[in-house]
Amino acid sequence: MRLGIISDTHGVLPNEALDVFREVDHILHAGDVGAPDILTDLEALAPVTAVYGNMDDSDIRDSCEKVANLMLYGFMIVVTHGDQFGSPTPGVLHEAFPDAEIIVYGHTHRPKLELVDKTVTVMNPGSAGDPRHGLVASVGIMELEPGIPPRARLVPLV
């Protein structure tokens, strides 16, 4: 199973992100979506699990959860924007969600892929629609196979 991982679109969905996600089986959006049509455009490619972020208004908050827990291909996955933890770190997220094998978050606009406790994959895909800190827009791809640790990579949108 191939996952497309995106966050912090803030109402902007670059065509490059759609190109990267053409062959995914499921998309995880870690909040600050910005506009409902972002989710509609992503759903045209694959099923979407999305959470709301601190900048999302009622249109998104009414249709998304603050934290999503899901099981995909035998992996317990948590998706959160992460703003409830201030400036979240992989260690803080692992402590907050100890049963998760994969944690996807956003909020910081800084791409990060880290292994915590040798078993938990934590990914922040960066910002697809509003890059900051001199960084380029980015998304993530994660491959899931039962019995094998997740394989993931960050993909700059250039």
Superfamily in which the 2-156 domain is placed by CATH: Metallo-dependent phosphatases (3.60.21.10)
Question: pLDDT digits over 59-73, tens only?
Answer: 999 999 999 999 999
pTM of the predicted structure, to 2 decimals: 0.97
Region label for 68, one of left (φ > 0), alpha (ψ between -120 and 50) or beta (otherwise)? beta
Question: pLDDT digits over 98-115, tens only?
Answer: 999 999 999 999 999 999
Cβ atoms of 61 and 32 closer than 8 Å: no
DSSP string, 80-102: E--GGGSS--HHHHHHHSTT-SE
Q: What are the 10-residue block averages of pLDDT along the chain, 158 residues in total?
A: 98 97 98 98 98 98 98 96 97 97 97 91 96 95 94 96
Instruction: Provide the sign of the torsion angle of the four alpha carbons 76, 79, 82, 88, taken in this order.
Output: positive
What is the identity of the amino acid at 108? T
- In the chain, what are the domain boundaries? 2-156
